[in-house]
């Protein structure tokens, strides 16, 4: 019984000591804790409001939505970080070592993800300079497609076959890029006989191709003599069609060219070569 009494007495003494420590802590640091919590709550509210305001400001100035959201997020993080530093100061904690540690960690992380940071930097440059926008047709690094989305890290293209191409933004900036906007150029060549009238062929092709609903009239189709071949006069046809229907439109144009040549009474010559054999005595 005496051992049980001693055990209960020790537990009561420990509880009383813990209670005293808690009371002393709240008496000494209670206002600091409450102040720090209030500062954090105010920081959350202020950072959220400023983030929304920054995004709305970008939208009012017709800045790209991706850059607007990025600006709002950065504003929110920076403001909240300032309030966290202020709240830590309420406890008498020096933030200088934390800032130095964060700087060292940031440097190491930057070296480790420098490729990703390069993509982000290039993405911001694309959004600001706007060399192309969603819906444009771009050709870059041997691929071509319609721009469907511009993200901070990459640009997404979509082909006529529904294939999605992801290009890291660091490979977009500083590279040779062709932007044909909503359309893409179709180039075809048809050969006619040297005995046919090329002006008649050009006029017939200009009229028939221009009537196709898939061919853009701004700029208008161009038809002219492309070259003089060994067996034919080559008539070139250049016209712009929607990128989303490029292959389909090219097939229709080629079929129209063939039908026009037949209706106009023109001749598509076969390659010919005269071979003269010397007579043997």
Alpha-carbon distance 177 to 80, whole Å? 40
> Can you tell me which residue has the tokens 């060994």?
230
Of 218 and 22, more confident: 218
pLDDT at 72: 79
What CATH code would you report for 132-180? 2.30.30.60
pLDDT at 278: 77
pLDDT at 268: 87
What CATH code would you report for 183-263? 3.30.70.100
Alpha-carbon distance 126 to 152, whole Å? 9
Confidence category of residue 281, pLDDT binned at 50, 70, 90 = low
The beta strand positions in the chain, using DSSP E, are: 137-140, 143-150, 154-158, 164-168, 178-181, 183-192, 222-228, 233-242
pLDDT in tens, 122-161: 888 887 788 888 889 898 888 888 898 888 788 999 988 8
Q: What are the tokens at 250? A: 């090219």
- Same fold for the pair 11-112 and 183-263: no
Selection from 250, 251, 244 nearest residue 160 by Cα: 244
Pairing of strands 233-242, 222-228: antiparallel
Report yes or no: 258 and 208 within 8 Å, Cβ to Cβ.
no
Hey, is 87 helix, strand or coil? helix
Spans of all domains in the chain: 11-112, 132-180, 183-263
Asked if the model's pLDDT at residue 263 lies above 70, the reply is yes
List of residues 6+ apart from 87 with CB closer than 8 A: 35, 36, 37, 39, 40, 43
- The model's pTM: 0.57
pLDDT at 36: 75
pLDDT in tens, 57-114: 877 877 766 667 777 778 888 888 888 877 776 666 566 666 666 666 665 555 555 6
Please compute the mean of the pLDDT values over residues 4-13 and round it to a whole number.
58
Please compute the mean of the pLDDT values over residues 111-121 and round it to a whole number.
70
Q: Does domain 11-112 have CATH number 3.80.10.10?
A: no
pLDDT at 121: 82
Report yes or no: 240 and 233 within 8 Å, Cβ to Cβ.
no
Alpha-carbon distance 266 to 203, whole Å? 12
pLDDT in tens, 186-237: 999 999 999 899 999 999 999 999 999 999 988 889 999 999 988 899 999 9
Residue 216 DSSP one-character state: -
């Amino acid at each position: 019984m005496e051992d049980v009494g001693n055990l209960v007495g020790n537990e009561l003494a420990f509880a009383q000591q813990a209670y005293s420590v808690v009371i002393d802590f709240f008496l000494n640091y209670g206002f600091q804790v409450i102040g720090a919590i209030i500062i954090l709550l105010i920081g959350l509210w202020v950072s959220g409001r400023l983030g929304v305001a920054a995004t709305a400001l970008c939208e009012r100035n017709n800045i790209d939505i991706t850059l607007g959201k990025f600006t709002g997020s950065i504003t929110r993080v920076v403001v909240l970080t300032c309030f966290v530093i202020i709240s830590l100061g309420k406890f008498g904690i020096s933030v200088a070592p934390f800032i130095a540690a964060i700087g060292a960690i940031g440097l190491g992380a930057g070296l480790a993800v420098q490729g990703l940071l390069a993509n982000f930097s290039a993405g911001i440059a694309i959004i600001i300079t706007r060399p192309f926008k969603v819906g444009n047709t771009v050709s870059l690094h041997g691929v071509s497609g319609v721009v469907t989305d511009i993200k901070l890290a990459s640009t997404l293209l979509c082909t006529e076959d529904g294939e999605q191409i992801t290009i890291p933004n660091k490979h977009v900036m500083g590279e040779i890029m062709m932007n044909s906007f909503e359309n893409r150029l179709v180039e075809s060549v048809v050969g006619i006989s040297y005995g046919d009238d090329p002006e008649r062929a050009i006029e017939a092709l200009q009229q028939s191709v221009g009537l196709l609903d898939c061919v853009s009239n701004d700029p208008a189709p161009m038809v002219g003599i492309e070259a003089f071949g060994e067996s034919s006069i080559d008539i070139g046809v250049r016209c712009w069609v929607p990128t989303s229907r490029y292959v389909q439109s090219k097939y229709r144009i080629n079929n129209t060219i063939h039908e026009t040549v037949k209706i106009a009474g023109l001749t598509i010559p076969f390659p010919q070569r005269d071979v003269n054999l010397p007579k043997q005595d």
